[in-house]
Structure 1
């Protein structure tokens, strides 16, 4: 009887939370068109990334969707084209767990694209097996942070070439509310089987916010106002990221989060807002949540920590000094 009572209470609380959440979710209201613009959405073939890419394509953009799976990429591209009628949707292979793949992808984009207006670093992994990649980096940390660090810097010259002071190029990094329990420990940053999966995920998202702030600072120091970079907290979203916990359990969590909190489409709204909204382009290095300027945990505003993380990341990802300096050159 007590168990039944507890179940009823939990269900009722869940319904109240879900009702409040659904009534307070904010939708991007921008009517901005993206005709003639080029965008990249990592993880743009499923979950929130697919909804972001579909929105951009519907606005007339040339959309490059990137993921490491051919079947998923092909299906994702077809879905976007069928949904929007926009044939300017390109699928490119990108494995963020491989620096070689990141370099190949970036070189191809620089070679074939004349411009890059929006980069959405959306791809990520959750509760996965803890192992080291071929680059010697923790898999979760590389996909969620180190890989996005390298990708962003390699594409920065094209972003700087495209943007201008009136309409800057935009970089949007997908963080998480779990960054609040994240920490940065340089001695253990790649240590296998040291962190719990949820802690590892949280660490990667805190690192991404610190990277966002440090990149904004370095661009400002260069008197560069043609590129704006911000991070977003999409909230609790029911996506396939939970599938790593098991087919049935993951499916149940995905359904539960979609009902009580946000669907992938609802979760995509803040990233779309930050990529399009005029007021959002006036700030850089900030965190947005529910389509509004928000505040990260206090550690995220530690400039010394952000600088140290930046330098450590550059070394771990294998960016030599000459290549690093080229990342801050504007393409001609």
Structure 2
């Protein structure tokens, strides 16, 4: 990628962010964000990745307040245990625990799934929330580009390995749910099937946007497979908006300064950012409904190319090849 292309990629990402911030500012001026009211879920079990900070932590706190058994997944054991203690104290819900998983390691993902399944618990909600943003060029332990490997492939494998438990836990009128967190940056993302690893000249902005675009395509294809199998599991993708979290450490210094000065007005709080994830996880309005892109708790159109069935299938097949997951697409749709 030429220096000019890298600059244009950055400008596209920041332009998408500015558009979202202006929308959020307008909403705040018109009355602000009103916290949705959700029904209690005392008999449900949820897994939330990246649940020790930011939107993930807020999601775990909300679900715990609703009475759910919440399993917080992250790659920092000490921090995880402290988060569990605080959530239990704040929500008076003792059904909160931490399990270690490094989504940048497929071995760690598989070990986590084994640990979870040994507990013999049902699984009603899986929130694929964890992620990195615009980090310097780096690879996961499996050799994948960091954004694509952690943000996307880690969740791709995690979801596939938990599908049997999700299917066994869902029932008519009470489906299990997969909620995947994407971003408005997917609107400026480009999926290069010949270069998913972002090899060559590196742009962290392109890599991040591509990973978020891949998550939308993945969620839509997953919903197609689940529906074709007649399972009581739904898959939706959510856009939290521009949220005041710690993910901005690698962005342009001017953006960090703007965030420090004006986040209180232009950015969502972490709780506001988590509401769409919680909505997708528990609202009766989405019972049995999947394949949606949700923003501010409402159905929204994602990038046009995300509805390309052939591209969805191509990405899924390639992801299976990269991770060793068995691709059931052909069997499902030919049966």
What does 1:115-154 correspond to in 2, within 5 Å? 115-154=122-161
Say which of 193, 205, 215 aligns to 1:208: 215
Whether 1:85 aligns to 2:92 is yes
Q: CA deviation at 1:250?
A: 4.2
Name the residue aligned to 1:253.
259
What does 1:1-332 correspond to in 2, within 5 Å? 19-22=25-28, 23=30, 26-192=33-199, 194-224=201-231, 226-245=232-251, 250=256, 253=259, 256-320=262-326
Provide the C-alpha distance between the structure 1 equivalents of 2:89 and 2:159, rounded to a whole number of angstroms.
29
Q: CA deviation at 1:154?
A: 0.4
User: What SS is found at the alignment partner of 2:287?
Assistant: helix
Q: CA deviation at 1:46?
A: 0.5
Q: Is the 8 A contact 2:70 2:96 kept in 1?
A: yes
Provide the C-alpha distance between the structure 1 equivalents of 2:258 and 2:138, rounded to a whole number of angstroms.
26
Q: Is the 8 A contact 2:173 2:288 kept in 1?
A: no
Provide the C-alpha distance between the structure 1 equivalents of 2:71 and 2:279, rounded to a whole number of angstroms.
19
Q: CA deviation at 1:31?
A: 3.1
Unaligned runs of 5+ in 2: 1-20
User: What SS is found at the alignment partner of 2:272?
Assistant: helix
Mark the CA change 1:120 to 1:254 in structure 2 (over 3 Å): closer, same or farther: farther
Provide the C-alpha distance between the structure 1 equivalents of 2:81 and 2:219, rounded to a whole number of angstroms.
31
Q: Is the 8 A contact 2:238 2:276 kept in 1?
A: yes
Q: Is the 8 A contact 1:57 1:80 kept in 2?
A: yes
Q: CA deviation at 1:202?
A: 0.8
Q: CA deviation at 1:59?
A: 1.1
Q: CA deviation at 1:34?
A: 1.3
Provide the C-alpha distance between the structure 2 equivalents of 1:135 and 1:301, rounded to a whole number of angstroms.
30
TM-score w.r.t. the length of structure 2 is 0.86
1:293-326: CA deviation from partner (whole Å, max 9, x where unpaired):
11101000000000000000011112256xx79x
Q: CA deviation at 1:157?
A: 0.6
Mark the CA change 1:40 to 1:301 in structure 2 (over 3 Å): closer, same or farther: same
TM-score w.r.t. the length of structure 1 is 0.87
Mark the CA change 1:186 to 1:88 in structure 2 (over 3 Å): closer, same or farther: same
Provide the C-alpha distance between the structure 1 equivalents of 2:24 and 2:325, rounded to a whole number of angstroms.
45
